[in-house]
Amino acid sequence: MTSLTAIINGRLVDPVTNTEDITNIFLDETGMVVGLGYVPEEDAVTSEVIDLKGKYIISNIIDSHVSLREPGEEDKETLATASKAALSGGITLLISTPDTHPIIDTPEMVSFIHGRRKESSLVPIYPLGALSKNMSGLELAELYLMSDAGAVGFTDGNSLEHTGLMRHALHYSSDLDRPVIITPEDPLLSQNGVMNEGSVSTVLGLKGIPAESEEVRLSRDIKLLERFGGFLHVFPVTTRATVDLIRKAKARGLSITCGTAPHYLMFDESDIEGYDPIYKCRPPLRTRDDIEALIEGISDGTIDILASHHQPHTIDGKRTDFVSAEYGMSGIDTFLPSVITALAHRRAVPLPLIAKLLSTNPKRIFRLKKPGVAINTKPSFTVIDTKTEMSVDQAGFGSKSKLSPFHGMGLVGWPVMTIIDGKILWRRQPS
Interval 160-182: pLDDT, tens: 999 999 999 999 999 999 999 99
Interval 114-124: pLDDT, tens: 999 999 999 99
Architecture, CATH, for domain 2-57+374-398+410-427: Roll (2.30)
Interval 251-262: pLDDT, tens: 999 999 999 999
Interval 291-318: pLDDT, tens: 999 999 999 999 999 999 999 999 999 9
Question: What local confidence, expressed as pLDDT, does residue 221 receive?
Answer: 97
The dihedral region occupied by 223, where left means phi > 0, alpha psi between -120 and 50, and beta the remainder, is alpha
Interval 227-240: pLDDT, tens: 999 999 999 999 99
Question: What local confidence, expressed as pLDDT, does residue 125 receive?
Answer: 98
Residue 44 pLDDT > 80: no
Q: Where are the domains of the chain?
A: 2-57+374-398+410-427, 58-365
Contact 311, 329 (CB under 8 A): yes
Question: What local confidence, expressed as pLDDT, does residue 191 receive?
Answer: 95
Interval 325-367: pLDDT, tens: 999 999 999 999 999 999 999 999 999 999 999 999 999 999 9
Question: What local confidence, expressed as pLDDT, does residue 158 receive?
Answer: 92
Question: What local confidence, expressed as pLDDT, does residue 43 receive?
Answer: 65
Cα–Cα separations (whole angstroms), residue 122 to 94, 152, 186, 197, 402: 11, 19, 38, 42, 21
Angle subtended at Cα 410 by Cα 408 and Cα 413, rounded to the nearest 5 degrees: 130
Residue 2 pLDDT > 80: no
Interval 45-85: pLDDT, tens: 788 999 999 999 999 999 999 999 999 999 999 999 999 99
Under CATH, domain 58-365 is a member of which superfamily?
A: Metal-dependent hydrolases (3.20.20.140)
Give me the chain's average pLDDT, please.
96
Distance CA 378, CA 371 (A): 8
Distance CA 94, CA 3 (A): 31
Residue 275 pLDDT > 80: yes
Distance CA 366, CA 369 (A): 9
Distance CA 415, CA 87 (A): 9
Of the chain, the percentage scoring pLDDT greater than 90 comes to 95
Residue 217 pLDDT > 90: yes
Residue 431 pLDDT > 70: no
Interval 93-138: pLDDT, tens: 999 999 999 999 999 999 999 999 999 999 999 999 999 999 999 9
Question: What local confidence, expressed as pLDDT, does residue 3 receive?
Answer: 86
Interval 353-364: pLDDT, tens: 999 999 999 999
Contact 10, 52 (CB under 8 A): yes
Q: Is-above-0.95 flag for pTM?
A: yes
Residue 410 pLDDT > 80: yes
Residue 40 pLDDT > 80: no
